[in-house]
Structure 1
């Protein structure tokens, strides 16, 4: 395409101007390709605000798929690619696959440009803090740095560079911002007027800088056959986008792919597509759960974030990145039917606050509470406030209440706390206990010979053994032990498997000598395995009549240990219809109907207690028994490990991380220079959600502070909702820290796993969004 050096230079300058114009117009450019059919469904809760700008059509979005590629492949499964330049001219292309490389052009003479710009980072509270920042920046770049006091605000600022051109200043500002100093801005040193506060306020501009070494894009067919070369951006598209979309390194994308050489001498690849097509490629990568209302909430959040943050990377020639720096976008191959449905059914819908689209931040797992934006990002935002990740009050319990009409036992003695459970398990297996109202007095009463005979017959029935013949002494521990062993095992098991030394060793308690020889092996067996317990004074009282409580407890323990109660285990997965779903150890979901007079138990610590009702949130470990009709007549629940917050299903709802002192000091070195050897970490302030927002780094020579969202990233933790435990060696020296925390992410805005939990509890997408974004409305943008 090039004919002479002179024409090359002219074409280069024209292409540069076209690039600026084309990229600046890209956001509002109309599309000529057919749109996919969209659902016209509109939720009754959606409001169309008269003062909110209503777009005439669906906007486009530019996603920087690659920003530093040496070589890329653009292809299609169709017959051939289409390639155009910014002026609309068609490039010669009759193949379905091209390889693109960036080749160096001769440097162009630097145009005259006004100098006198610099970069500033303001807001340091002390001179020492400003000087630390200056040293950090000096280590990253070659420009000179100094500090000065801003008398108007009584804060310190860091100044970087002197007499810079505006292009160099903007480039330098971007480098500093990418290193974590987002507040950096370009100022005119002669007037101290800011010219580029943030990338959001800049229009999309050319990525080539006057005076830089410019490059061109060279396209090759298979092998080394060159097809064309151009210094202007090249846009690739498919002639049949639906069936043969354009591909970047074999991955298909909707819309078009634009490729241009950047100032770093590499290739930038930008996916230019309609906003709805972009959101289709975001939602399944950000939240892929089987809950349509949660997916709708995610779709609206993703759409709102994308529209609000257009031009975030304008200086690079695109709007957003496909990573967590913006939103995770995977293109066409990652789309899923359910997530696409969520996008289609919320088409054009965004979250607004006072008629403006919000900065719809979201986090993976908030750990039960979200945080005020200013405590993480240093800027207060009225709709990004701390919120509980749950329904209000006790409402999150109301949907999944299991109730029983059975009377509760009247047990007050701590020693009898476990007897209600034992008696319940025996009762559902046909043991005639002789009472339906368990009391301490009834349990303390000596057991009768008739009761023991009946209960041992039931043991033999369940163990498929012959009922033992009992004598008058069966109500005392020695004879009871032998009769119970016969009923459960049907043979002289203890006498066969224990020798005399074993028996004497196991019977080494106070009154063991009172046990007759014929019963000693059986007593030793039952005591060893924990079925028969001793009194607090380490005695058995072998000559005394046993209480009902001791007999019931011993029988229940033995039957349960042998698996004869037929108990099943699972994990609750309640549904919005109030039904109880239990997931088995084989990952099979089983709907359970609970008998109206079932025994209901809930664990508190190591003990279980009978209840009239059980509140289930999902995730609780459950032990249950089904009667002959398939109804649950016994249900025992332990608290869900993840608690009751809506994000409890996340694998990161709770976590623990341990680090040595050296590892912590290494990670915090950038923020703690000059403090000497690390001696402690202290959380000095917590936000509304209890997140650490001011961390003191204490050393032998002083202390430093780490504040806001940098705490999590500096320490390399999943979240900054944590507490700290310290580890010491035998000499009392600090050797490490253990961080016990909740959540994953920055903790601001919508909680993705929380949205899933709220959807499972019956909330619609609009209520989910309003649970996390304070005071918002939902508005049709187009």
Structure 2
């Protein structure tokens, strides 16, 4: 007969069968820290949904100030959690005082495995004996680590330069100098002021800082963040890490990498979200040796926390939740660049290593780019008032229906420069009053228009009709009147304020002879004044981005909202180029251009095309689509010699360009030697925005180059997604899938988690 099972034996069998229950019980009672990502509830009921990412938002700090919107819990973490505060409002942490110094190394080679690197060390030791170290680095192109072989340490750059010359003489020509910071702690202490309580800790202490409730958030250095913080004391100072869900992290990345305020196209932001998510997911654990995954800087991805979030970029993140880019079933290394300058480059050409099929040189143009033509039946007018062009002002009045010069031709400019008649003045002023919805005010008999129409008579009549006596009497100092009319002959009249008011407000044009005795107002001067008043008192113009045209219908994006208007057959069209505005009978647009327009009852009656580069590349709206940098020989020499001991730079010679015409290999010729620079190092050494450039020289009388002029395009490394190009595609109606397929050919979108 079997003995009955006791409750102890039953629990023992249950725990053997279901060992995970034992783990949960041990965690609950022992309250020991769990690893990131193992549990949705990261700590004591504080939930962070997977996947979890750790982002370094502050490093090597001597001080860290952290606040909470509605309280925070503070725990000291060693072998167990120890609650320091249940609902703190502020923490001020002070770490070890760190004295930063520097050292220099000379990088001689790199390898894909440690074994290969050790072989290189043995070979180099035979050529040039010295202290050689192997340093583990990260390859951004392939998303994996590699091993650098370096000579050193050297205490000064001069010592490193001397050693670099030795290597060059031994035939090792692709070496360069690497600078590293060295932290020398002076004091081994860490303390924190938690509200009013001063706490001391041992070195390398870790604090967990958690919002006290679900609606609270933490702030570091004035920036608000989702999730929780880890505050650590390390030998180089304090380190603050933001621990949060990866989707929440992206909401602080996307608006930093592609501003929704400047580039407010949802599909472009969705493409950016997918690329950033793929990059982050693939590189989780990248900086694990330092206690986090990624930096919050452009070194990895720019991250601005909750303070950077924007409704449109949040929408882009939510709409693409968990989506990533795959090539042959694996997440890709989704590199992206701000502005490609018309064409991206092969990844291997910039970063070295083997080719990746999805990081190919790609033209930043749309093959089937539509071209829209806006036309008007109006012939362009060119009207002047003396030396001043008043074409725009007269077109405003015509568009508003205040004047009608449709039947006039070339003689209109002559007509406008002739003296105005009193009946013309009253007609135009009354029409302006109706446009402004102003009720006619009683006119002082002394203000009634009469011949000759002097500036004084014109000013009094206009001020009285518009009811601006109160303005001119109370908003103008007597000293201002005297100053504004100082060039006028005296005595004019006691009633000078109306004229002075119109001049001060910028309504009355400062034309030659305005203050001369016997001056009579011309038609152009009166109409110019009325146009200025019309636009200041009842602004009609709106800024927009042109989207598309179908028949007479225009699609314009106004304050992030796409609106439809009809283009008037007799619309006034203008184009601004080189600071000059000219009337046009037609305009050609590709979409995405900035325009200023005026619509009446849903009909565009006036439109001006803002300055637009004359090109079809998609990133042409970037401020860095084209640039120029002028460097003196001395400045360029200083930059170059931080990396290569060539002495004073005499010339530069491009040896090789990539498919996008980026400089892939450049020879620097100096008085003390030569150096060949390759790939992305060209940008670093020269200190330029991009490697897509041409070099011009300004020569001095002694035959030496005085200045090097770099004229270039683009900003960034030029590989992968062109962010401003993606915006240009989205403006033309492309979906985020189309955008990603263009810049990452051969990839597929799938679920990362």
Q: TM-score, structure 2 length as denominator?
A: 0.60
How many Å separate the matches in 2 of 1:768 and 1:254?
Answer: 30
In the TM superposition, what is the alpha-carbon distance from 1:661 to its structure 2 partner? 0.7
3-state SS in 2 of match to 1:647:
coil
> Is contact 2:633–2:708 with CA below 8 Å preserved after alignment?
yes
Partner residue in 2 for 1:130: none
* 2:498 aligned partner: none
Q: Provide Cα deviations, 1:166-225, integer angstroms capped at 9, x if missing partner.
A: xxx67x546999xxx9853479xxxxxxxxxxxxxxxxxxxxxxxx99967544435673
Q: What are the within-5 Å matches in structure 2 for residues 572-721 of structure 1? A: 573-576=545-548, 579=554, 581=556, 593-596=566-569, 614-619=588-593, 640-641=612-613, 643-674=615-646, 676-700=647-671, 702-721=673-692
Q: Is the alpha carbon distance of 1:158 and 1:275 closer, same or farther for their aligned partners in structure 2, counting shifts above 3 Å?
A: farther
- For 1:641 and 1:91, locate their aligned partners in 2 and report how far apart those are by CA, in whole Å: 61
Q: Is the CA contact 2:338–2:714 (under 8 Å) kept in the aligned structure 1? A: yes
Q: Deviations over 1:608-659 (max 9, x none)?
A: 997777234344678x999x99966787868713743222222222222111
Q: Select 1:246's aligned residue among 204, 218, 224.
A: 218
Report the CA distance between 1:372 and its aligned residue: 1.3
When residues 225 and 582 of structure 1 are mapped into structure 2, their CA distance, relative to the original with a 3 A threshold, is closer
Tell me, yes or no, if structure 1 residue 288 matches structure 2 residue 259.
yes
Q: C-alpha offsets along residues 470-495 of structure 1, whole Å, 9 cap, x if unaligned? A: xxxxxxxxxxxxxxxxxxx999xxxx
- From the superposition, tell whether residues 599 and 100 of structure 1 become closer, same or farther in structure 2 (CA, over 3 Å): closer
Contact 2:655–2:665 under 8 Å retained in 1: yes
**Within 5 A, what are the aligned runs for 1:61-460?**
61-85=53-77, 87-94=79-86, 96=88, 97-102=90-95, 121-122=109-110, 148=123, 161=131, 173=136, 184-185=147-148, 217-222=190-195, 225-226=198-199, 229=202, 231=204, 233-240=206-213, 242-249=214-221, 251-262=223-234, 264-289=235-260, 290-379=264-353, 380-395=355-370, 397=371, 400-403=372-375, 430=405
Deviation at 1:25, TM superposition (A): 7.7
Structure 2 segments unaligned to the other structure (5+ residues): 1-26, 98-105, 151-184, 381-394, 425-450, 454-511, 513-522, 536-540
2:690–2:714 Cα contact (<8 Å) kept: yes
Instruction: State the distance in 2 between where 1:340 and 1:35 align.
Output: 23
Task: Tell me how far 1:779 sits from its aligned partner.
Answer: 0.9
Deviations 1:300-330 (A, max 9, x none): 1111111111222222111110111111112
TM-score, structure 1 normalization: 0.58
Match of 1:504 in 2: none
C-alpha distance in 2, partners of 1:582/1:574?
6
Displacement of 1:574 in angstroms is 0.3
| 2:166 aligned residue | none
Instruction: Report if the CA contact (8 A) 1:566-1:625 is conserved.
Output: no
C-alpha deviation, 1:85, in angstroms: 2.1
Cα distance between partner residues in 2 of 1:175 and 1:393: 39
After the TM superposition, which of the residue ranges 767-776 and 24-33 deviates more from structure 2? 24-33
Aligned to 2:155: none
- Is the CA contact 2:282–2:331 (under 8 Å) kept in the aligned structure 1? yes
Distance 2:32 2:279 in 1: 20
1:552-563 equivalence runs, <5 A: none
Residues 704 and 185 of structure 1: CA distance in aligned 2, closer, same or farther (over 3 Å)? closer
Structure 2 residue 1 is matched with structure 1 residue 30: no
Is the alpha carbon distance of 1:646 and 1:123 closer, same or farther for their aligned partners in structure 2, counting shifts above 3 Å? same
CA contact (8 A) 1:76 1:245 kept: yes
8 A contact 1:122–1:184 mirrored in 2 = yes
Indicate the residue corresponding to 1:751 in structure 2: 722
- The separation in 2 between residues aligned to 1:314 and 1:160, in whole angstroms, is 31
Distance 1:745 1:583, change over 3 A: same
Deviations 1:481-531 (A, max 9, x none): xxxxxxxx999xxxxxxxxxxxxxxxxxxxxxxxxxxxxxxxxxxxxx9xx
1:120, 1:158 within 8 Å by CA — same for their partners in 2? no
* Partner residue, 2:518: none
| CA distance in 2 between partners of 1:90 and 1:24 (Å) | 11
Please identify which structure carries the higher strand content. 2
Residues 81, 237 of structure 1: 8 Å contact kept:
yes
> Compared with structure 1, are the counterparts of its residues 327 and 594 closer, same or farther at alpha carbon in structure 2 (3 Å cutoff)?
same
- Bigger shift: residues 315-324 or 714-723: 714-723
Q: What's the offset of the Cα at 1:80?
A: 4.5
Look up the match of 1:515.
Answer: none
Specify the SS of the correspondent of 1:270: strand
Contact 2:189 2:201 in 1 (8 A): no
Give deviations 1:65-111, integer Å, cap 9, x for gaps.
2221233344434345141526453334345134434469xxxxxxx
CA contact (8 A) 2:73 2:210 kept: yes
Q: CA deviation at 1:716?
A: 1.4
Q: 1:703 to 1:459 in 2, by over 3 A?
A: same
SS at match of 1:225: strand
Q: How many residues align?
A: 548
CA RMSD of aligned residues (A): 5.3
Q: Is the 8 A contact 2:74 2:207 kept in 1?
A: no
